[in-house]
């Protein structure tokens, strides 16, 4: 009896202290590839995953406009988003293109300042949005 109890105890301790594996294709996996979340433990990633929101956008659809309140950051799960500014001459200028695994709008998590550019989908996009904590209260 003592031998089986000891085996159970060892299994329990191994489970408690073992490194959890992040399953492929999960929100946690996407988050783990973003530098801001890369050093989080699997349990912490799961907590962050519980507060992010999934969003889908179509080609040509705006994610946000220049001047909008900065309420959160976006992680591109798949697709492409173009960051564009409207010049004083009325012409648009593309500043960056973000694709699979990239993130943008992260400054909103720090200061909630207005968006400095437009974000428009170049392709259909599936994304994860993490809102600033003050927006969740």
Write down the pTM of the prediction: 0.73
* Two structure tokens written together for 22: 């992040």
DSSP, collapsed to helix, strand or coil, labels residue 52 as: coil
* Two structure tokens written together for 38: 């890369």
Output the CA–CA distances (angstroms, integers) from residue 38 to 31, 63, 66, in the order listed: 7, 25, 29
Residue 131, H or E segment: strand 125-131
Percent of the chain, pLDDT > 90?
A: 40
CA distance 8 to 5: 5
**pLDDT tens per residue across span 39-87:** 999 989 999 898 888 999 999 999 999 999 988 889 999 999 999 998 8
């Amino acid at each position: 009896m003592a031998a089986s109890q000891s085996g159970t105890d060892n299994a329990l301790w191994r489970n408690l202290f073992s490194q959890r594996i992040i399953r492929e294709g999960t929100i946690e996996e996407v988050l783990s590839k973003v530098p801001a979340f890369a050093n989080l433990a699997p349990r912490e990633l799961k907590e962050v995953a519980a507060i992010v929101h999934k969003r889908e956008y179509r080609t040509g659809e705006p994610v946000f406009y220049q001047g909008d309140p900065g309420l959160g950051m976006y992680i591109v799960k798949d697709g492409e988003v173009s960051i564009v500014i409207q010049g004083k001459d009325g012409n648009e200028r593309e500043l960056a293109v973000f694709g699979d695994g990239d993130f943008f709008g992260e400054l909103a998590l720090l200061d909630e300042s207005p968006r400095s550019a437009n974000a428009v989908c170049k392709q259909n996009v599936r994304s994860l949005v993490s809102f600033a904590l003050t927006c969740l209260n």
